[in-house]
Structure 1
Amino acid sequence: MKKVRCPQCGEPLTFDETRFVAGQKVMFVCEKCGKKFGIRFGLSKLKDNPTDAEEETRAGNAPYGMIVAIENKYSFRQEIPLQTGDNSIGRMMRGNKVRCPIDTGDLTMDLNHCVITVSRTKKGALQYVLRDGPSNNGTFLNGERIDPQERRIIEPGAMINIGATTIILSDGSED
Structure 2
Amino acid sequence: GSSKLRETRKEEKLDENANEKGYGSIVVIENVFAYKQVIPLQLGDNIIGRYMKNSGINCPIETVDPSVDMNHCVINVSRDKKGKLKYVLRDGPSYTGTFVDNEILGDRERRVIEDGTLFTIGATSIILRTADSEEEN
Fold conserved (TM > 0.5)? yes
1:116 to 51, 71, 75: 75
Q: Separation in 1 of the partners of 2:11 and 2:90?
A: 36
Asked whether the 8 Å contact 2:19–2:40 carries over to 1, the reply is no
Q: Superposition pairs for residues 33-48 of structure 1, below 5 Å?
A: none
Asked whether the 8 Å contact 1:71–1:164 carries over to 2, the reply is no
Q: Which has the higher strand share?
A: 1
Q: Separation in 2 of the partners of 1:151 and 1:17?
A: 35
Relative to structure 1, is the Cα distance of residues 74 and 107 closer, same or farther in structure 2, using a 3 angstrom cutoff?
closer
The yes-or-no answer on 1:166 pairing with 2:119 is no
2:35 to 64, 73, 76: 76
Structure 1 unaligned regions, length at least 5 = 7-11, 19-56
The alpha-carbon deviation at position 121 of structure 1 amounts to 0.7
1:90 to 49, 60, 63: 49
Relative to structure 1, is the Cα distance of residues 171 and 99 closer, same or farther in structure 2, using a 3 angstrom cutoff?
same
Amino acid at match of 1:107: P
Aligned residues: 128
Where does residue 134 of structure 1 map in the other structure? 93
Structure 2 unaligned regions, length at least 5 = none
TM score, norm. by length of structure 2:
0.83
Can you list the C-alpha shifts for 1:47-79, whole angstroms capped at 9, x where unaligned?
xxxxxxxxxx9x923400000012422561100
Alignment RMSD (CA, Å): 2.6
TM score, norm. by length of structure 1:
0.66
2:18 to 26, 50, 60: 60
The alpha-carbon deviation at position 135 of structure 1 amounts to 0.2
Q: Separation in 2 of the partners of 1:68 and 1:124?
A: 24
Q: How many percent of aligned residue pairs carry the same amino acid?
A: 51
Q: Separation in 2 of the partners of 1:90 and 1:74?
A: 13
